[in-house]
Amino acid sequence: MAHDERRLQVLRAIVQDYVSTNDPVGSKALAARHDLGVSSATIRNDMAVLEEEGYITQPHTSAGRVPTDKGYRFFVDKLSQVKPLSIAERRAIERFLDGALDLDDVLGRTVRLLAQLTRNVAVIQYPTLARSAVRHLEVVQLAGNRLLVVLITDTGRVEQRSVEVPPVTDVPPGTDPVADLRALLNSAFVGAKLVEASVTAVELLETAPPHLRGLVAAVSATLVETLVEPGEDRLLVGGTANLTRGGALDFPGSLRPLLEALEEQVVVLRLMGEVAPSHVLVSIGEENEHEGLTGASLVSVGYGSVGGTGDLALGGLGIVGPTRMDYAGNMAAVRAVARYVGQLLAES
């Protein structure tokens, strides 16, 4: 029907106008700013229907209309057109990210870049341990019966854990248990995916020389814990200052809960969940379960790719902002940055 078609255009126009002006948009203004070919009266009728269907709402009688979460959702799914990045933006991405050396550096630059590009809070997850492989393991003796185990993954991530180990007995003369342990661990784990580590650990324990078994058991246990627990994934957050853009308008319930949610990284990590590099995930307002985020939207996507299918990501990155955001632009920015980061990491 021609009706439906136009109604959707009205919805699109409302979203666009509201996002750019931050004022509830009325039928008259809409007719003036977009040539929809109909009068404001007709638009009013359409708006009434849209409101009845729950896509828009009015803050108070005789104010303009504002999109609801459902309205944004529809806009994102059906109405928004891919918005190619400007050349300046593409350039900014390259200029910003080229020259990064370490993983830390790459992620740090990325988060700043995304925050600047989208003028929102940017988040990036460290490459998830579960999908990484072991490049090297280092064991250093600490005071007492504690060992420091340093894990270096093929993505360049470095994690350390302090491990309490049982005392070693029956050491064959002329050998160094720590050095032996190091050699043993490396020969067993290097090159293995971390998901397989628990299996490897069991095998290793059986074949290890008796006097090292205590050490191997303790260290393996820590390694396995470290990666089974998804809470161990780390998140980098940047651009929180952007939350204050637009005064207190954007986040009515004050931004305290939002800041809390961002500090409790788990919340955001769970939301980003299983993002794939191929598909930008948008989570709008009330769709977010955590209460601190119910007034915000998250746009995220996976970066890097693991395995042949390319549908597993090394980690996720994205932005957090008011529901009233430029979804099309932000989706494009997030996707472009993720792609570039993926390339960068693949090179090293």
Partner DNA sequence: GCTGGCACTCGCACGTCGTGAGTGCCAACA
Partner DNA sequence: TGTTGGCACTCACGACGTGCGAGTGCCAGC
Q: Give the binding site for DNA (CB under 7 A).
A: 2-3, 6, 23-29, 37-42, 44-45, 47-48, 51, 58, 60-65
Is 236 a binding residue for a second copy by CB under 8 A? The answer is: no
Cβ-based nearer residue to DNA, 26 or 322 = 26
| Interacting residues with a second copy between 327 and 346 (CB under 8 A) | none
CB of 151 to a second copy, least distance (A): 10
Q: Which stretch binds a second copy (CB under 8 A): 50-58, 196-204, 209-217, 248-256?
A: 248-256
Report the candidate in 277, 321, 327, 271 with the shortest Cα–Cα distance to residue 297. Answer: 321
Q: Which helix (H) or strand (E) holds 296?
A: strand 296-303
Among 244, 274, 278, 289, indicate the residue that binds a second copy (CB under 8 A).
244
| Selected range binding a second copy among 53-61, 100-108, 123-131, 204-212, rule: CB under 8 A | 100-108
Shortest Cβ 225–a second copy spacing (Å): 12
**CA end-to-end distance (rounded Å), the chain:** 54
Buried b (16+ CB within 10 A) or exposed e, 132-161: bbbbebebeeeeeeebebebbbbbbbebee
When CB distances are held under 5 to 8 angstroms depending on the partner's kind, the choice from a second copy, DNA, none that residue 28 binds is: DNA
Residues across the chain = 348
CB 120 within 8 A of CB 319: yes
The answer to whether the beta carbons of residues 308 and 300 sit under 8 Å apart is: no
d(CA 114, CA 219): 38
In the numeric block, which tokens belong to residue 223? 């390694």
User: Helices in the chain by DSSP H: which ranges?
Assistant: 2-21, 27-33, 40-52, 69-74, 87-97, 103-118, 177-189, 197-207, 213-228, 256-263, 265-272, 327-347
Residue 209 CB, shortest distance to a second copy, in Å, is 23
Indicate whether 247 belongs to the interface with a second copy (CB under 8 A).
yes
Closest CB 67 distance from DNA, rounded Å? 13
* Minimal distance, residue 162 CB to a second copy, in Å: 4
One of 50, 197, 235, 255 touching a second copy (CB under 8 A)? 255
259 contacts a second copy (rule: CB under 8 A): yes
**143 lines the binding site for a second copy (CB under 8 A):** yes
Q: Which does 25 bind (CB under 5 to 8 A by kind): DNA, a second copy, none?
A: DNA
Q: Which stretch binds a second copy (CB under 8 A): 12-20, 160-168, 192-200, 335-343?
A: 160-168
Least Å distance, CB 165 to a second copy, is 12
Distance CA 296, CA 320 (A): 7
Q: Would you say 248 or 266 has its CB closer to a second copy?
A: 248
**Adjacency order of strands within the sheet including 281-284:** 235-238, 121-125, 315-322, 296-303, 281-284
293 lies in the site for a second copy, by CB under 8 A: no
Closest CA relative to residue 240, chosen from 115, 110, 93: 115
Q: What residues line the site for a second copy (CB under 8 A)? A: 101-102, 104, 135-136, 138, 140, 142-143, 146, 148, 150, 152, 156, 158, 160-162, 164, 238-241, 243-245, 247-248, 254-257, 259-260, 263, 347-348
